[in-house]
Structure 1
Amino acid sequence: MFRRRRPAIQIKTAEQVELMRAAGLLVGRTLEVLRGAVKPGVTTLDLDTVAEQYIRDHGGVPSFKGYHGFTGTICASVNEEIVHGIPRADKVLRDGDVVSIDCGAIVEGWHGDSAITVPVGEITEEQATLLEVTEASLWHGLAAGLVGARLTDMSNAVETYVRERGAYGIVEGYGGHGIGTEMHMDPLIPNHGAAGHGPVLEAGMCFAVEPMVNLGTKETVELDDGWTVVTADGRHSAHFEHTFAVTPAGPRVLTALDEGREWFAKLGLDASGGDAPS
């Protein structure tokens, strides 16, 4: 019997990680500009135009535009749309919506990839809690990205955090991934599953972790446009993502402006492993 070989995971040098940090910072800053641009009456195509101009003006190239025929610089997914929403002139944001903005950029051949979900005007407490739970689950997943850990330790950290906070639907079939000289590389990182499986993490590996969490069930449907993924029950979804590098000192979050220090401290997580002292 032959055992299936696991795909090789790209290992970056310290210099290459710095190039990924440059791409990650550009993505992070673009998302902050877009966060400020979200308001009722804005279209998702308006946001896409802002993103492309900002990325190109700051020396980057949009990762998404032209990727397998995708037409946008960002994915803009509103309410029941989970991921891969195509920016459109007729998709107008309204008070009470939530919009997931997924953005990628290339700098000197290296990729950064990150996503946020932003409230439009006033949203309900249920929606706000969904966003809080999903974003915090991302940071628990990132905190598990330690030298010597297993790949699914990150998956399990995301799932455990979400399960402890309610009957949410954790999307399956879509998840995080390796990243580096390409936007999507092996391996896939599910947002669910038992810990202790998969490759051992080594310094120089880089991954994107991206939980997608629904108010209703985990079931999804892909629309006829071949891209947009929506909840099967029509309930709202949230999506957050960061790119990070595995380092001997702990996960270095390349798309976070402060490399993750504020969020790790906020959640009482020690980025070098374990719980931070209280």
Structure 2
Amino acid sequence: MFVENIIASPGIWTRHTGVPETEGSIALLPSTSGHQETGGSVLAALQGEIFESFNMAQLWKLPVVFVCENNNYGMGTSTWRSSSNTKNYTRGDYLPGIWVDGQDVLAVRSATEFAIGYAQQCGPLVLELCTYRYAGHSMSDPGTNYRSREEVQEVRRRQDAIQRFRKLCLEQKLLPEKELLAIELDVRREMVLAVKAAKGDAELPLSHLWSDVYAEKEILGKLRGVLGQDLSHVRTTKGRRQEHKSSAYDRATNYAAQ
């Protein structure tokens, strides 16, 4: 995942290349391009590569934020059954760590802003976002074999992140009820259109496998590391840089954070 000034790797790939790959990109980029980037790696907390990456990041003082999105369940096993240490923010050992209420929009925003600033000035740290997974791990997982429906309903009723932020907006008069309803309708409309487009679109051509691999024009051309095929990069989008449009959510979070 690449956005402006951020390099990030997803969690499910972490055991293979995600965290080390992000580290390598962060370590090499300043010396090769002069750009100051911040890396974000969503980690799987019990895998060996993580601790090797912690060590190298600390040695090189890399601007990396290691994010543990702790939804309390690894596939179908709860963290307190699979881990002797459930305080994932302490796993960095010699890296500082922060525990954050992942169901609190403003807490996550504030902690993320602090973590990026700290990483850029001082080096790596661990950010544990304690959240909850309502659904199962996959389509084949109903999510009720290892926990009760009552547990899920109780968390949704008391700790749902969207509802908590909605309540805050109303109590602090950040947004009127009418504007909140308009946001909800926009989101639902966007979801309906996205599902409709996904179901109605034709199957992508084979060339899509080597389309939009690189973000920058300077490195377009032949795809690197491809064996047995002579493939050239195909550009179908305008690139990663997009203008950000202000929304009611942005206004509310900015006001609430002040």
Calculate the TM-score normalised by the size of structure 1: 0.23
Larger Rg: 2
Q: Which has the higher contact order (CA 8 A, sep 6+)?
A: 1
Q: Which has the higher helix share?
A: 2
Q: Which has the higher strand share?
A: 1
Calculate the TM-score normalised by the size of structure 2: 0.24
